[in-house]
Amino acid sequence: MDEDHYHDPMIYDVMRELANQVVAGYLAWEREATTPEEKAHWQEERFRTRLEVRAVDVDNLRAVKAMTAKLRDELAAMPEHAPAFVR
């Protein structure tokens, strides 16, 4: 069995669902923003996350697992409300 080949569609679905949760967190923070700069920052984070996820080769099991781990860590570290914005 080729360990780099994507075989189970659920693994990819888990990655995409985690991405949706991370993006939803950034969207909530964007809506809480009190300045245009802060709003733009959280919007950029949403876009960055989406682009990173879309760049993952769906047929590469290691890449899917690596992105899943990254998203899981990012989601676990996200507080309910946006951290203080400093630019």
Pick from 35, 39, 15, 36: nearest CA to 27: 39
Helix (H, G, I), strand (E, B) or coil at 26: helix
Selected residue with higher pLDDT from 84 and 54: 54
pLDDT digit string (tens) for 14-59?
A: 999 999 999 999 999 999 999 999 999 999 999 999 999 999 998 8
Poorest-pLDDT segment among 8-12, 28-32, 55-59, 64-68: 8-12
C-alpha to C-alpha distances, 40 to 12, 27, 29, 49, 65, nearest whole angstrom: 29, 11, 11, 14, 30
